[in-house]
Chain A
């Protein structure tokens, strides 16, 4: 890519930042505790819609890891999640009724909040159904990882999305509020991921897993992307381009080594497939607020109406991060 191409990306980055700042008008602060944020603290950003049932465990999981403050955009929930979030001492909440789709699936909102609050902080962007595991996450809290990344002068940390599913029907076991969703959705696909290189943004394009296998078997190109860079030492000139799949400036996307070595990386355990999913899929299909005409949700609804079982005899049962490391889904890199 020549000078012109690089310049074009620079313009695109500036435009995305401007767009994010413009979109701040769609956000109404419900409770803003950001004055509590101290230098060096780890911040978590998320959008949510009617995820009340998941929130207690989600907050607990990340608090235990060492997240200091949660900044959450609520997209017009009506299940009581807003008052619940507002009552938490370490959560700031914004509310919006605006279109999720026209905010580029929430990216604009979070880009704005990160621009405003995350400068010079480690910033983690995850959905309420995503749980970060990284090397030594059972013995070392998130600040240990961030300190190490700082010391190694690494500003972005990759963690691919790993779809978790239950054995049997997706709606076979009801999820209780506060429960660890991995108790139900404890299975995953260990080795059917397609990895491609995207030369424009220099990120890797990873697809596969149970969603590709069960819903996109005859159209794998449309299967959802699984590559993510959720943890970034934020700078106000940074911007997420599409979900957390890619960033600008694009050096932040180079979370992989191209000469044969392995960089440290983690995994986002994606616990979308609980009993709550069937209803959610139908609702989202109606709202049409998702990527490329909600093609994903169309495929889900169709497949789910027939045989909602993602499990196969080669599925692996989740144990811990070491298992994921041995299977080659993540790596310790040179963190020992």
Chain B
């Protein structure tokens, strides 16, 4: 399509009505009723419109579309090319339509490339005035390959240096294999001399000067032949060539379009109305064809146009980048029907830090109450107790309608823990754990970076110490519990353990309990922690050393408690808070 087209009577009439310096090239492949509406809207403000319809559209539909617009002299149709995403056809179509537009409407100074699903957000006159003030400026997003963040299939530079004869949509495997082959063989195409590859949004607005220079370039055949095999040339053809001729490139698109992580455009719906009103862009794409409210609200004359809202680009950005973020990263610690991270991918298994206490309940009488009072956290009993789930306050149900059934918990203890933490977001959870508990969760606790685990090893033996059972039974059970705890400690000390883990033997802990308690409180409460004034009540430990000795005498080897003295620890005068040696930041 070159040369001057026939000037039929229709065209002459059109020329007479084309009063503005803005012409529209519109690419259409579906939703013809909306394309028609948009074309009429542009034409109503005196803008000539040249429409390119994808050749894949059945000719009956095409004819109906042409027929529907036949009463509008400002709308013309250009030669059709077959368009497929990522291929040359879209550029060929744009070229043809642009040529027709430039040749027919001599007054046109700016050409705006739009699609059938584009919607003008501001009155057309505003756009015309805006461009009239900047007669030599080309608005086209155009950046060198090194500087663009969007790369689909990991291809940026290679878009220009490899060949892409296979369709990415229809034969992805061939496409990928051929790319790999070329990489392996180090095949590279030569970029025509003088061209520096640039990429950017497909939707631009160029001056007649720049556009006609591109279309009438003596080397155009060379360029076209080259770009025919570049991947997604509609994002690089004009973007690269404009750099040769333009004297004033504004590297941005006047069309608002947002892309998701796959490089597909986000679609606007009726509920985006308020958002779009806050855009300062002239045109938005793409609009869902059945978004009646949007079309009604924006495709009106100036009288009925809505009052302008304060532009706020950031808000639109936020909405869509948040969506991409949700799709790519999701909400850490949430396991549900459409988010189920496998371990190796996942650095946050649970959604928030929590604290696990082992042995504290055995040593202190009022441990749960004391901890709750001093931290404000939610303090549970043994959540993984063999017979039931000891929720705080021993309730039968808890947040999210978790129940105290041990069978339900053990059926999927990982879900139980992640659910509990998810359901109580914003509140620190503490619970007790020990060798009497169901141990399924042991490794999950150890490898969870959110877990803070405080263990007083061997303290479980106090249960045996206070028990009235037959001594031979006690001895057997103590041996078993020691084994269970040792296994658990193995997990905590393994190289895979990621939690914040503090292990203290019972002997170590008893020597200076308040220091250790203060550290724990500081961990949970953070910087604002108060100095502890009141200690939890300790159980009576008198005789425990002898008890351990008896176990030893019976042939068992209780070692997890550390070196507990036979005659009990020297009875200290109930210490009044010796100040712990802590360096406060």
- Please report A residues at the B interface, Cβ cutoff 8 Å: 136, 139-141, 143-144, 147-148, 151-152, 158-160, 189-197, 204, 206-208, 210, 212-213, 216-221, 227, 255-265, 312-315, 328-336
Report B166-188 CB contacts with A as 1/0, cut-off 8 Å: 00000000000000000000000
B290 CB contacts on chain A under 8 angstroms: 141, 143-144
Please name 28 pairs of A and B residues whose Cβ atoms are closer than 8 Å in the assembled complex, sorted by A: A141-B290, A192-B402, A192-B419, A193-B336, A194-B416, A195-B415, A204-B337, A216-B408, A255-B337, A256-B339, A257-B330, A257-B341, A259-B342, A260-B345, A261-B327, A262-B336, A262-B339, A263-B338, A264-B338, A265-B337, A329-B337, A330-B336, A330-B338, A332-B323, A332-B326, A333-B323, A335-B323, A336-B266
Contact A192 B329 (CB under 8 A): no
Closest to B260 in A: A334
Q: A334 and B402 in contact (CB under 8 A), knowing A140-B269, A219-B407, A255-B338?
A: no
Out of A158, A256, A257, A312, which one reaches B397, CB within 8 Å?
Answer: A312
Tally of B interface residues using CB under 8 Å: 52
Contact A193 B415 (CB under 8 A): yes
Chain B interface, DSSP helix/strand/loop, else mixed: mixed
Contact A261 B339 (CB under 8 A): yes
A143 CB contacts on chain B under 8 angstroms: 290
Contact A213 B401 (CB under 8 A): yes
A183 to B4, CA, bound (A): 69
A197 to B260, CA, bound (A): 28
A197 CB contacts on chain B under 8 angstroms: 340
> Counting chain B CB atoms within 10 Å of each CB, which of A160, A255, A336 scores highest?
A336
- Please report B residues at the A interface, Cβ cutoff 8 Å: 258, 260-262, 264, 266-267, 269-271, 288, 290, 319-320, 322-324, 326-332, 334-342, 345-346, 397-403, 405, 407-408, 411-412, 415-416, 419, 422-423
Q: A189 and B401 in contact (CB under 8 A), knowing A219-B407, A333-B327?
A: yes
Contact A151 B401 (CB under 8 A): no
The number of residue pairs between A and B whose CB atoms lie closer than 8 Å in the complex comes to 179
A329 to B331, CA, bound (A): 12
A257 CB contacts on chain B under 8 angstroms: 327, 330, 338-341
Out of A193, A227, A314, which one reaches B398, CB within 8 Å?
Answer: A314
Nearest chain A CB to B32 CB, angstrom units: 15
Out of A191, A216, A265, A313, which one reaches B338, CB within 8 Å?
Answer: A265
Nearest chain A CB to B337 CB, angstrom units: 4
Out of A148, A191, A204, which one reaches B400, CB within 8 Å?
Answer: A191
Other contacts beyond A152-B262, A191-B422: 14, CB < 8 A: A148-B267, A192-B401, A195-B415, A197-B340, A204-B337, A210-B401, A221-B411, A257-B340, A261-B339, A262-B326, A314-B402, A315-B401, A332-B323, A336-B258
Chain A interface, DSSP helix/strand/loop, else mixed: loop
> Counting chain A CB atoms within 10 Å of each CB, which of B260, B330, B408, B419 scores highest?
B408
Nearest chain A CB to B223 CB, angstrom units: 31
A332 to B326, CA, bound (A): 8
Nearest chain A CB to B356 CB, angstrom units: 20
Closest to A138 in B: B271
B320 CB contacts on chain A under 8 angstroms: 336
Q: A261 and B328 in contact (CB under 8 A), knowing A143-B290, A158-B337?
A: yes
B337 CB contacts on chain A under 8 angstroms: 158-160, 195, 204, 206, 227, 255-256, 265, 329-330
